[in-house]
């Protein structure tokens, strides 16, 4: 039997199991184990699991797994949470330079450790699928404007789009959005979780960029995004169809720690 320590963090309600795997003790190829740990009834419960690992030339590497046990693409709120975890572990102070599935990321964390701003990858193209927008912000996203979002059937509609002919093989995260004051209210159906989550960082980023395109805006801007689990802010520079200096900012908090013996 082996025992290892896990940590639970959440960012705007998007929750994660994090394991310090710099001494590689966790079997990352064990999809069943990851799936069981993320299970909310028979495990710890989380939207995903992350390993913090050593990487030459970086503060650390983030390896992300979806709740279904499979290694996933970039997770924005997960990235913010693992930065908070790295600070709590004494690996970083006010900033981090780390490696993730979609490449290098830079992040800053406030002195109290309660808010993390994470630089996302540049985006050079936003496509269309009918009236919806399709883009990749480290993970693939579908963005659709709807009315009455608070009562909209997000799970049923999101599942239908995610499993439709066009997206079934690779999957896609499905975001529904409506205007909300100076920003937007967003609800997301996430692939890999196969359910609605309380927040999605790459999804909030995708919505902010898609809405800038939808409204024909250019220049430097900051867009507030409200999600079920709290509030996020997306800042970026838009020049024509190119988006740069994209930052996802929001809360990242420690929840609890424990041990797993197996």
For residues 111 and 132, membership in a common domain is answered with: no
Q: Are residues 110 and 41 in the same domain?
A: yes
At residue 1 the predicted structure's pLDDT band, cuts being 50, 70 and 90, is low
Residues 145 and 87 in one domain: no
Residues 105, 24: one domain? yes
Query: Do 9 and 113 reside in the same domain of the chain?
Result: yes
With contact defined as beta carbons under 8 Å apart, do 137 and 205 qualify? yes
Residues 144 and 173 in one domain: yes
Q: What is the rounded end-to-end Cα distance, in angstroms, of the chain? A: 5
**Of residues 50, 75, 193, 232, which has the active-site annotation?**
75
Dist. CA 234–CA 124, nearest whole Å: 17
Q: Does 81 participate in catalysis according to the annotation?
A: no
pTM: 0.96
Q: Which of 200, 207, 223, 246 is catalytic?
A: 200
Q: Looking at the structure, tell me whether residues 17 and 106 fall in a common domain.
A: yes
Same domain, 103 and 206: no
- Residue 224 maps to which CATH number? 3.10.310.10
Q: Please say if the pLDDT value at position 49 is more than 70.
A: yes
Q: Do 213 and 133 form a contact (C-beta atoms < 8 A)?
A: yes
- Condensed to tens digits (0 to 9), the pLDDT of residues 103-138 reads 999 999 997 768 999 999 999 989 999 999 999 999
What DSSP designation does 202 have?
Answer: H
Structural domain of residue 188, as residue ranges?
Answer: 127-249
Do you know the residue count of the chain?
262
pLDDT score of 262 more than 80 = no
20: Cβ–Cβ under 8 A, 6 or more apart, which residues? 5, 7, 52, 89
Tell me, yes or no, whether 256 and 244 share the same domain.
no
Mind listing the pLDDT tens digit for each residue in 175-195?
999 999 999 999 999 999 999
**Domain count of the fold of the chain:** 2
Residues 80, 175: one domain? no
- Name the pairing type of β-strands 183-190 and 219-227: parallel
Distance of alpha carbon 69 from alpha carbon 5, whole angstroms: 19
């Amino acid at each position: 039997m082996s025992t290892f320590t896990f940590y639970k963090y959440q960012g705007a309600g998007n929750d994660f199991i994090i394991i310090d795997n710099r001494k590689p003790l966790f079997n990352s190829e064990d999809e069943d184990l990851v799936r069981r740990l993320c299970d909310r009834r028979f495990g710890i419960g989380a939207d995903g699991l992350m390993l913090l690992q050593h990487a030459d030339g970086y503060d650390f590497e983030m390896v992300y797994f979806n709740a279904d046990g499979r290694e996933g693409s970039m997770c924005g709120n997960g990235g913010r949470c693992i930065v908070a975890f790295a600070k709590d572990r004494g690996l970083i102070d006010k900033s981090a330079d780390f490696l993730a599935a979609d490449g290098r990321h830079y992040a800053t964390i406030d002195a109290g450790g309660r808010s993390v701003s994470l630089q996302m990858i540049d985006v050079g193209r936003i496509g269309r699928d009918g009236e919806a927008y399709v883009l990749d912000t480290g993970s693939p996203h579908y963005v659709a404007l709807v009315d009455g979002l608070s009562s909209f059937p997000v799970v049923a509609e999101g599942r239908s789009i995610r499993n439709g002919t066009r997206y079934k093989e690779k999957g896609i995260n499905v975001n529904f959005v409506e205007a909300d004051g100076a920003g937007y209210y967003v609800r997301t159906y996430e692939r890999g979780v196969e359910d609605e989550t309380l927040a999605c960082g790459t999804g909030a980023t995708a919505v902010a960029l898609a809405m800038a395109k939808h409204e024909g805006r250019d220049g430097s801007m900051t867009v507030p995004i409200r999600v079920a689990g709290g509030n996020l802010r997306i800042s970026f520079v838009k020049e024509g169809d190119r988006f740069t200096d994209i930052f996802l900012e929001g809360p990242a908090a420690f929840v609890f720690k424990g041990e797993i013996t197996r």
